């Protein structure tokens, strides 16, 4: 009888230990899941852009007239100023950027390269509308968090291409804005981090 009582006590102790371990594992798993969910629920600066190619077919085309850049707390910004309304583009990470027409390599600083194609030629029927003073450094981006270099890759057959060297493959977004005046702008924002 004593032996049977000891066996029952041992079996009860094992059952209680097993249930306790299972509960602890479940709680730990829930904590890990909750932490992972919290991490994905609050992306850096609320940015959810991703890093895949972005494009919009051109419904209006106008000449490119300027290229500039600026800094924000969460991203660096590239702006292409266009003389009139224009909205077509294709922006994507590429292994290398090549010049329009000639196919010559456009060397870029940084860990990743964005090819920015605007369906906005750097010329109109009469003249050149955008001719950079220094094609390898369109804008001075020293001190920028993400941008490393902005280089001209040319304008050919109704489109202009810019090489954007960035620190790493980071999320980006692309959109167009109306103005100033009758002009428009193509905007490329690249986040400082994921």
Tokens read off for 181: 């005046």
Tell me the three state secondary structure of residue 140.
Answer: coil
CA nearest to 153, candidates 141, 164, 140: 164
pLDDT greater than 70 at residue 98: yes
What's the predicted TM-score (pTM) here?
A: 0.79
Please give the backbone phi and psi of residue 140, each rounded to the nearest 5 degrees, phi first. Answer: -75, 110
Residue 35 has pLDDT above 50, yes or no: no
**What is the C-alpha separation between 160 and 13, in angstroms, rounded?**
76
Would you say 144 and 69 are in contact if contact means Cβ atoms under 8 Å apart?
A: yes
pLDDT of residue 13: 53
| Alpha helices for the chain (secondary structure H) | 2-41
pLDDT higher than threshold 60 for residue 28: no
- Does residue 26 have a pLDDT over 60? no
The answer to which of 27-36, 56-65, 86-95, 121-130 has the lowest mean pLDDT is: 27-36
- In terms of DSSP bridges, do strands 147-156 and 159-166 run parallel, antiparallel, or are they unpaired? antiparallel
Is the confidence at residue 34, as pLDDT, over 70?
no
Res 45: pLDDT = 96
Cβ contacts of 3 within 8 Å, gap of 6 or more: none
């Amino acid at each position: 009888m004593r032996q049977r009582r000891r066996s029952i006590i041992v079996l009860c102790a094992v059952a209680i230990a097993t249930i306790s371990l299972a509960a602890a594992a479940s709680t730990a798993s829930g904590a890990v899941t909750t932490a992972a969910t919290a991490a994905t629920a609050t992306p850096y600066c609320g940015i959810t852009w991703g890093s895949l190619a972005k494009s919009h077919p051109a419904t209006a085309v106008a000449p490119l007239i300027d290229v500039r850049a600026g800094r924000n707390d969460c991203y660096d910004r590239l702006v292409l100023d266009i003389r009139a309304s224009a909205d077509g583009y294709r922006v994507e990470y590429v292994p290398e950027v090549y010049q329009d027409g000639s196919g010559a390599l456009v060397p870029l600083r940084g860990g990743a390269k964005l090819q920015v194609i605007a369906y906005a030629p750097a010329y109109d029927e009469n003249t050149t509308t955008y001719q950079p003073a220094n094609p390898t450094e369109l804008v001075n981006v020293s001190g920028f968090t993400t941008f490393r270099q902005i280089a001209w890759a040319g304008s050919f057959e109704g489109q202009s291409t810019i090489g954007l060297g960035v620190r790493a493959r980071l999320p980006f977004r692309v959109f167009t804005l109306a103005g100033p005046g009758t002009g428009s702008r193509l905007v490329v924002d690249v986040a400082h981090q994921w």
